[in-house]
Amino acid sequence: MIRDTCETVVAGGHGQGNRLDQLDSPGYIFVDKDYSVYISDEKNHRVMKWIKGATEGIVVAGGQGKGNGLAQLSGPREVLADQLGIVVVGGNNQGKQSNQLYHPQDMSFDQQGNLYVVDCSNNRIQRFKTNSTS
């Protein structure tokens, strides 16, 4: 049961848009040990990091329009970070190869730091070993 009645906006809150103090269809969040909030900003095709107490966010992935270029994302849905920072998987267009995903839905780390991804439209669970490129 939540007893705190003091609600606080920790990210966005300035209407729909693409400024650093705005979000457009935020999807998923991840809160790290320092209380920074990572947000998948789906229609802005970016992942934002909001440091505790900040009045605007920092683009940590994407933000260069929709696409499959190195600095682009296409409607990111899930965001997950480890102790080293943001984790982004895919980026090699959608497909069936081991370095491609097709509608990833969820992610999780195991105790060794390996990343598991639910690759929905490929009907598989992918494991990415730490420091792996495929």
Tell me: the pLDDT tens digits for 31-83? 888 888 889 898 999 989 999 999 999 998 889 998 877 778 888 877 766 66
CA distances (Å), origin 10, targets 13, 25, 42, 61, 86: 8, 15, 18, 19, 19
- Separation of CA 107 from chain center: 10
Tokens of 120: 């929905």
pLDDT at 25: 92
Domain residue ranges in the chain:
11-79, 89-134
pTM of the complete model beyond 0.85: no
> How far is residue 66's CA from residue 44's CA, in Å, rounded to a whole number?
8
pLDDT at 27: 84
What class is the 11-79 domain?
Answer: mainly beta
